[in-house]
Amino acid sequence: MDWQAWFTVGIVALVFYGLIRELAPPDVLMVGGALLVGLAGIITPHELFRGLTNEGMLTVAALFIVAAGMRETGVLDIIGSRILGKVKKERGALLRLFPPVVGMSAFLNNTPIVAMLMPVVTDWCRKHRISPSRLLMPLSYLAILGGTCTLIGTSTNLIVNGMMIDRDMHPMRLFELGYVGLPYAIVGIVYLLYVGRRLLPDRKDLLEQLGESSREYLVDMLIQPECRLIGQQVEEAGLRHLPGLFLIEITRDNQIIAPVRPDEILQVGDRLTFTGVVSTIVDLERIPGLIPAVDESYETHAAQRRGRQLCEAVISPTSPLIGKNIREANFRALYNAAVVAVHRGGERLKGRIGDIVLRSGDTLLLQTTVNFNRAHRNNPDFYLVSSVEESRPVRHDRATLSAIFLVLLIVLMTLSTSDILPWPLVLVAFLTAGLMVATRCISASAARQSVNWQVLLTIVAALALGKALEKTGAAESIANMIAAPTETLGPTAALAVIYLIAQISSSVVGNNAAAVLVFPIAISIAAGFQVDPRPFAMAVAFAASASFASPIAYQTNLMVYGPGGYQFMDFLKMGLPLNLILCAVATILIPMIWPF
């Protein structure tokens, strides 16, 4: 390899390192890497920005709007509320989730589906005294499995399809992936029912009001002059007997009192730091004169809490809040909401809430206005995972239209990918999105907000890096090194190796970036064996889409990470066996369906 190839490989390695260490958001790292290879003259400006016209990327952008329209009109909510029905057992709930989640995920973006179903699953778990950690991870996995069944099931499939078109390969048909995707889904549900259920953690959700141990939030409460607790001992004030609550420390005149004795006298201005579940935090707020110590306006104007509600949000990997403590993040000014409490994985957070440095996957308990969910539902800074239904105005009068447009999208895409309709896939997607806006199923402003620009920028930059790997010969050299040990075993062994590389990459850098970076390597290996590259392209699509062993491997995994109280090892323990099983399934089925 010449210096350009080594330079490109070095840049890609640095990008991978930055993603693993979470040094910056994925779109920043990927764009930075693409700009460096562009400035080095390895790729031209046209090649650098060519991803902006990639059909797969543009189709993903349009489908963001379609999915948002489904949420705005309440169609997804109606479907979600009827899924679990009267089932009472965990196993039965999993079986009831399987058909609709897999079915919807085959035709809609996975993110809004999981966001819509998380409150439904959480409420059902609370009602039946079952830990949500037993169902939230399977919910994410089912959505991922459903996305492998059709071309439009996940953005990864569309990106791979776009790269295939760029190389003059025949594009995927809408249901072509189903030959492997449906077996994937069946194997996945069998695994979840008979193996995965034994590997799932049994942690209690913070919203439970069952008196059992729950996921804990860290919250600071401030005693105001009018509070009835002033002059009382901690024990007689009842602060040691509330379920799911522990008083960690008291801050008084900049002095920390810890541990807190039962006979400690409470004084005006005391800042009480608790760990507890949401239901108990709500009980604390009901005590007159005891309010969350959030910011000055909140503390001195308690009347501002009228007309506000509690809401949960999970910080996304692209959020500007990451790396900042709550005090310096200026959260109220940005979102007109106050951070009441924070939960992180399986940790018990310590110290004052304002000093917590936020991370991707943290769950925030927010005090918000009634319009907060509508204003920020599609904000890429975080995912809303719990809301008060009455606070969200839904366009019910457009629900029928929205459902008709979804059916129209599926029909037109089927005709397009079957070469019956001359319209390309991207045109069909934008037509449907345009109809959603034109008929007011979703407003123009909400449509713009629904597009996840960070995801699109990551795709564009990853395409540029993939082009640099291919143009410099680095992809071919890496392919030769990978293919060398499998030369005597044939292309099937090489296919299995490519699948594993794509899966590992996806667990580190995410599904779309992994697909773009591994695709040129896979095509080069196929060229080395002088076989049809289609099965290798399909292997990349399936491997990058079906990622289970890491919370950052797929967007929906990160969404359930905080609310389920999961730890990183929970995903590794649960997802790694499923990854290996599906690798075997793919290695057997792909050559049968798409011969070399």
Query: Each residue of 377-394: pLDDT tens digit?
Result: 677 887 765 653 433 445
| φ, ψ at 252 (rounded to 5°) | -135, 120
Tell me whether residue 419 is in a domain: no
Q: Which residues pair with 274 in a beta bridge?
A: 219, 247
Residue from 565, 476, 553 nearest 521 by CA: 476
Query: Each residue of 300-356: pLDDT tens digit?
Result: 344 444 456 777 788 888 888 888 887 777 777 788 787 877 888 766 676 677 778
Split into its structural domains, the chain has a count of 1
Q: What is the CATH number of the domain that holds 385?
A: 3.30.70.1450
Tell me whether residue 367 is in a domain: yes
Q: Can you tell me the distance from the alpha carbon of 312 to that of 308, in angstroms, rounded to the nearest whole number?
A: 13
| Residues 346, 203 contacting (CB under 8 angstroms) | yes
Tell me whether residue 53 is in a domain: no
Q: What is the dihedral of CA 484, 486, 491, 495, to 10 degrees?
A: -100
**What pLDDT does 138 receive?**
93
Size of the chain in residues: 596
Tokens for 372? 């907060």
Tell me whether residue 319 is in a domain: yes
Alpha helices, DSSP H only, in 22-89? 26-39, 45-48, 55-72, 75-81
R_g over Cα of the chain: 25
Query: Each residue of 542-568: pLDDT tens digit?
Result: 998 888 987 767 777 766 776 677 777
Residue from 467, 480, 470 nearest 50 by CA: 467
**213 falls in which pLDDT band (50, 70, 90)?**
very low
Higher model confidence: residue 177 or residue 205? Answer: 177
The strand ranges marked E within 316-362 are: 337-343
Tell me whether residue 279 is in a domain: yes
Tell me whether residue 529 is in a domain: no
Q: What is the average per-residue pLDDT within 562-588?
A: 86
Residue from 162, 157, 151 nearest 53 by CA: 162
CB atoms within 10 A of CB 236: 14
**182 falls in which pLDDT band (50, 70, 90)?**
very high
**62 falls in which pLDDT band (50, 70, 90)?**
confident
Tell me whether residue 55 is in a domain: no
Which domain, by its residues, includes 232?
A: 217-391
Q: How far is CA 71 from CA 66, 77, 87, 313, 541, in A?
A: 9, 7, 25, 17, 27
| φ, ψ at 87 (rounded to 5°) | -65, 145
Q: What is the average per-residue pLDDT within 418-444?
A: 85
Tell me whether residue 421 is in a domain: no
